[in-house]
Amino acid sequence: MDQTQKLINAGEDAVDEMLSGIMAAHGSHLWRPENAPRAVIARDGPRKGKVGLIIGGGSGHEPTFLGFVGKGLADAAAIGNVFASPPPQPVVDAAMAVDGGEGVLFMYGNYAGDVMNFDMAAEMLELEDIEARTVLTTDDIASAPREARATRRGVAGNVFIFKAAGAAADKGLSLDEVERVARHANDRTYTMGVALSACSLPHTRRPNFQLAAGEMEIGMGIHGEPGVRRGPLQSADAVADEIMDAILAEMAAGAGDEVAVLVNSLGSTPLMELYILYARVAERLGEAGLNIHTSLVGPYCTSMEMAGASITVMHLDSELKQMLDHPCDCAMFQVR
């Protein structure tokens, strides 16, 4: 099979060369400690007396994770290889760099590898007298049934969940409170996606799954993990309806409630298609009597060049609304 076309130099250098570019472009927002090239730290944000928020995971999902490092959001990101959890060391390096004496909170998507590495990092930080707690994101409603919510994957809803926790930390709340807000945000965030074509790893440049022409896969994960159902490609409205049916059924919001919405590109699906989806999503929310408080449309959590999109709805309350509205200034995401 032909290799996919990518603008890279060598596959094994892709992550580090991307990081070099990000530092060159966003040095006013981000820095890296000497000898810790995979720990990306916010220039403004970390400070004494503030809980440190550390996010992280595999590369290939940009702007997730490092794009959300900045004042008012995450203090640091630990960067792994493509689609692979970072090892414990960059997590430890990040925590040491941002610790303000109030402990740190790790937030990342629920994947077995990430859990093992971040847990090892937490054990290592214990020796440094830094308390590290963890809140896993589990917003992908296609990845497990509702009664097994804790086993679900974390996907694009991360943006809203990290944002809420980052605001709580920036407001100076205690570690207990930041953790509570993070869990609350995760509990009220629902995502489901659809994939139209595969992505390929820079090392292999081969599609990571096969999807026949004219087919789509509902519920596919952001690493190409097979989803819940494969079928013929349908219209944007039909796809939006299938996803919104699932989200609305689980969210059980009352008329008049407010929501935040993210229509996210998995990589190569363009804004045109995202806005077509958004139109139907807004219609469905309107029909359900829900008011949209925050809208994001674009590539927020990608899977390299995968084609497809995901829809995230966060069921707001007054606290979460306040957290989403809190200003943040990150390299790739701002709220003013």
Q: Does 88 bind other proteins (CB under 8 A)?
A: yes
Residues 6+ apart with CB under 8 A from 225: 143, 153
Q: Does 82 bind other proteins (CB under 8 A)?
A: yes
In angstroms, give the least distance from the CB of 40 to other proteins: 15
In the shown chain, the binding pattern of residues 248 to 267 toward other proteins, with x for contact by CB under 8 A and - for none, equals: --------------------
CB 52 within 8 A of CB 76: yes
Instruction: Give catalytic residues, as residue numbers.
Output: 61, 223
Judged on CB neighbours under 10 Å (0-12, 13-18, 19+), 113 is middle
Q: Does 112 bind other proteins (CB under 8 A)?
A: yes
Residues 6+ apart with CB under 8 A from 161: 107, 137, 139, 154, 182, 185, 186, 189, 314
Q: HEC profile for 218-246? A: ECCCCCCCCCCEEEECCCHHHHHHHHHHH
In the shown chain, the binding pattern of residues 42 to 61 toward other proteins, with x for contact by CB under 8 A and - for none, equals: ----------------x---
129: helix, coil or strand? coil
**Which CB, 63 or 221, lies closer to other proteins?**
221
**Touching other proteins, residues 166-225 (CB under 8 A):** 201, 203-204, 206, 208-209, 221, 223-225
| Overall residue count recorded for the chain in this entry | 336
Q: Does 143 bind other proteins (CB under 8 A)?
A: yes
| Contacting residue, 32, 71, 153, 163, with other proteins by CB under 8 A | 153
CB 307 within 8 A of CB 197: yes
Q: Does 144 bind other proteins (CB under 8 A)?
A: yes
Contact residues for other proteins, defined by CB under 8 A: 12, 58, 80-89, 111-113, 116-117, 120, 143-144, 151, 153, 201, 203-204, 206, 208-209, 221, 223-226
